[in-house]
A and B are shown apart, each in its own frame.
Chain A
Amino acid sequence: MVARHATDEERLSPESALALLQLVKDPEVPVLSVVELGVVRGVEVSGGVATVTITPTYSGCPAMEVIEAGITAALLAGGFRGVELKTVYAPVWTTDWMSEAAKEKLRAYGIAPPGKVTAEQLVPLGRTVRSATCPFCGSPNTVLESEFGATACKSLHICHSCRQPFEHFKTF
């Protein structure tokens, strides 16, 4: 019996590239991969060279450079001969691209996941009360402390039930 070796075409496919990218985590939220986060918009492979289309989360997110370096390093380590990154800005990144499974990972990590983007959340003016469910005790009795947390994508909240401060991945 002759062992069958995977051909280059199988080994260096868009599917295998995506599998490698599932291992590249957001440096600020290390439970989510760059694919789950919605930063990776697509992969094409030609002659062993991967072209990865990415989109930034927030314009000012300082993690983007680290993410780009991580994508390149992971694909080169996985045997790709070259990596080209193509940045696109449209369609605009949204937390609606995050799957339910990814949101559950966030919650288990202690970050309240984003809800669905609704017209109401886009209201720009005024004193508004926005609540998030506590990721630790599940209580809805929480208060927004600040719309701007340790990173652009998160806001700060306090839970009145378990007295725990927590972060919420903003619905965006």
Chain B
Amino acid sequence: MAPPLFDYVLRLGDDRLVLGHRLSEWCGHGPILEEDIATANIALDLIGQATFFLRLAGQIEGKGRDEDALAYWRDENQFSNVQMAELPRGDFGFTILRQFLFDAWSFHHLDALGRSTHAELAGLAAKAHKEVRYHLRHSSEWVLRLGDGTEESHRRMQAALDELWPWTGELPYQDEVDAALRAEGIAPDLEPLRAPWESMTKDVLGRATLTLPAGPMRMTGGRKGRHTEHLGHMLAEMQIVARSHPGASW
């Protein structure tokens, strides 16, 4: 069985790889040139962060798998990202709202992980946290602008929130993997991060004149390799070149 630290770092990498790939789908399709560039920039940051985390995961596992092996040669049930990250990109409002909800979580999560007793993990988290501040500023500005915008933009943002909110229940998910590492001070407890995340998101969503849906949170399972029907399709596209030409380089 893989050590808990491998699973833990893999989860950090998978969230960013999958979300980064979804964001990269906007490249060439952005609503305006500046946003095309912005989403591509943020996607690059996320995929860069994923590279660092997956590389570290491979080193912890010690079986010779590097970041590329982990990104391109695992199947969907071996991916451990939160399900929210894999949902199709939707319209720009959906994409930017998902980004905001994830950025706000990342902002608190990485801040806490920056105080990990695992020096390399703490260093990677601190670096990523600095970048997430930029991402969060960008996504929160758009949520305000579109939520408190025209009738049409408000309608779309509210629809996106109704769809996305239940999926956020998976963000603070923890299990035996976290528990083992919490004892050593490697992983932070996610429970105390719920409240500051909620107050940050509710503040912005409120100012954006959006209403939180009342419905229940969804089932979780992404951390255990259970995914929506969307991840397999996304991976097929993401992995096909690497799998068609194993070991190719340019």
Q: Label chain B's interface by main secondary structure.
A: helix
Scoring B43, B136, B137, B203 by chain A CB atoms within 10 A of each residue's CB, the highest score goes to B137
| Of B59-67, B70-78, B115-123, the one with at least 4 CB within 8 A of chain A | B115-123
Q: Which residues of A contact B131 (CB under 8 A)?
A: 58-60
The reply to whether the CB of A84 lies closer than 8 angstroms to some CB of chain B is no
Q: Which residues of B contact A89 (CB under 8 A)?
A: 52, 120, 123-124, 126-127
Given contacts A146-B37, A147-B137, A156-B34, contact A60 B45 (CB under 8 A): yes
State whether B141 touches A126 (Cβ < 8 A). Answer: yes
The reply to whether the CB of A172 lies closer than 8 angstroms to some CB of chain B is yes
Q: Which residues of B contact A93 (CB under 8 A)?
A: 127
Give the docked Cα–Cα distance between A144 and B130 (Å).
20
Q: Which residues of A contact B120 (CB under 8 A)?
A: 89
Least CB distance, B95 to chain A, in whole angstroms: 15
Which B residues fall within an 8 A CB radius of A? 34, 37-38, 41-49, 51-52, 107, 119-120, 122-124, 126-128, 130-134, 136-138, 140-141, 144-145, 200, 203-204
Given contacts A150-B37, A152-B41, contact A125 B200 (CB under 8 A): yes
State whether B48 touches A90 (Cβ < 8 A). Answer: no
Given contacts A89-B120, A89-B124, A146-B34, contact A127 B144 (CB under 8 A): yes
Q: Which residues of B contact A61 (CB under 8 A)?
A: 44, 48
- Residue from the list B34, B46, B140 in contact with A60, Cβ < 8 A: B46
Question: How extensive is the interface on chain A, given as a class?
Answer: 20 to 34
Give the docked Cα–Cα distance between A56 and B48 (Å).
10
Least CB distance, A108 to chain B, in whole angstroms: 25
Give the docked Cα–Cα distance between A124 and B128 (Å).
14
Q: Which residues of B contact A56 (CB under 8 A)?
A: 48, 127
The reply to whether the CB of A88 lies closer than 8 angstroms to some CB of chain B is yes
Q: Which residues of B contact A126 (CB under 8 A)?
A: 137, 140-141, 144
Given contacts A60-B48, A124-B133, A125-B137, contact A149 B37 (CB under 8 A): yes
Between A and B, 14 residue pairs with Cβ closer than 8 Å are: A56-B48, A58-B48, A59-B52, A60-B43, A61-B44, A62-B44, A89-B127, A92-B130, A123-B137, A124-B140, A125-B204, A126-B141, A149-B37, A172-B134
- Residue from the list A58, A148, A170, A172 in contact with B37, Cβ < 8 A: A148
State whether A124 touches B122 (Cβ < 8 A). Answer: no
- Contacts A59-B131, A92-B130, A148-B34 given; 19 further ones with Cβ under 8 A? A56-B127, A58-B45, A59-B48, A59-B127, A60-B43, A60-B48, A124-B140, A125-B136, A125-B137, A125-B203, A126-B137, A127-B144, A127-B145, A146-B34, A146-B37, A147-B38, A147-B138, A148-B37, A148-B42
